[in-house]
Amino acid sequence: MNNFLVVSNSEKDAGNTVARAIREHLEKMRCKCEFVSVIPGHVTRDKLDKYIEDGAQCVLVLGGDGTLIQVAGALCGIDIPLLGINLGTLGYLAEVECDQIVPTLDRLIKDDYDIEERMMLNATSEGISRDALNDIVISRLGEVRVVRYRIYVNGRCLSTYNADGIIISTPTGSTGYNLSAGGPIVEPSANIILITPICPHTLNTRPVLLSPEDEICVEVHGNKYSSQEIGVSCDGAKAVSLSSEGRVEIRRAEGVTKIIKMSREGFLDVLGRKLRDV
């Protein structure tokens, strides 16, 4: 490949120092490279379309897992692979560290890499449709009271949870909020949908794993004491408010995210190392 787009997290790459260094190196190697600086939480498709239309073959994402996840959501359905360069701390997706940038760029030019495809989810609520690589979280935004969530799978009622919220996760997102809430860790190239309640008011609630073809509907029923403000957040983006008796429909997204893998390390090797470093 010889045409690159660098998406730089403005908070982690001050002055676009790393982005400029990458462009300088790639141009020395007779490659085309453009870069765009983005504000975390405000990564949108329209900011990237111009560069995609110019024929970018690869998107280098500077920041951390959060930045890469936001870029993936913005580019869902676009057949361009992403490579994360870690300027943060704990990174599962952003596997390239700063001291490996130059040799990594040289390998990309030589097409010496692998690509993994990761499934994504689509959430529709209040007439708004959004895609997520990691997870979709439905949770209370107001006072600290449990909310009743009724979950349907393929039109049939699965269960009712009294909880702070519900996490619907992909395998990629299993090591994120899902893990913190007690959900299972899943190999990221698998095709599974995970449902994990957040702080359920029960002693026997367990996460549920579903087929990627299953369609999920989460209905919010508030509680009998007061009305609750509920939000739906995709990949940690700003939550969209949901009415007290609203619903969210979730299914597998049509697009996938292509992640460039430079390391020959397996998922379990990376997981063990990251957990030891925490």
Sequence-ordered list of residues with C-beta below 8 angstroms from that of 110, at least 6 positions apart, any chain: none
Q: 65 catalytic, yes or no?
A: yes
With cut-offs at 50, 70 and 90, classify the pLDDT of residue 90: low
Average pLDDT over the chain, rounded to an integer: 88
In order of 5, 144, 241, the CA distances from 127 in angstroms are 32, 27, 12
The domain spans of the chain are: 3-113+262-277, 120-255
In order of 87, 107, 210, the CA distances from 99 in angstroms are 11, 14, 40
Q: What is the CA radius of gyration of the chain?
A: 20
pLDDT exceeds cutoff 80 at 224: no
> What does the pLDDT read at residue 277?
64
Average pLDDT over residues 56-64: 93
Contact between 134 and 238 under an 8 Å Cβ cutoff? The reply is no
pLDDT exceeds cutoff 60 at 16: yes
Going by the DSSP 8-state scheme, the letter that residue 205 receives in this structure is -
**What is d(CA 193, CA 202) in angstroms, rounded to the nearest whole number?**
22
The CATH fold of domain 3-113+262-277: Rossmann fold (3.40.50)
> What does the pLDDT read at residue 92?
74
**What is d(CA 206, CA 242) in angstroms, rounded to the nearest whole number?**
25
- For 120-255, which CATH superfamily applies? Probable inorganic polyphosphate/atp-NAD kinase; domain 2 (2.60.200.30)
> What does the pLDDT read at residue 168?
98
Of the given ranges (41-45, 112-116, 273-277), which has the lowest mean pLDDT? 273-277
With cut-offs at 50, 70 and 90, classify the pLDDT of residue 175: confident
Nearest to 206 by CA among 163, 152, 266: 163
pTM listed for this prediction: 0.88
Between residues 77 and 129, which one has the greater pLDDT?
A: 129
Helix (H) or strand (E) holding 198: strand 193-198
Between residues 177 and 143, which one has the greater pLDDT?
A: 177
Between residues 239 and 265, which one has the greater pLDDT?
A: 239
46, 49, 65, 79: which is the annotated catalytic residue? Answer: 65
> What does the pLDDT read at residue 30?
95
**What is d(CA 233, CA 32) in angstroms, rounded to the nearest whole number?**
36
**What is d(CA 56, CA 196) in angstroms, rounded to the nearest whole number?**
37
> What does the pLDDT read at residue 223?
59
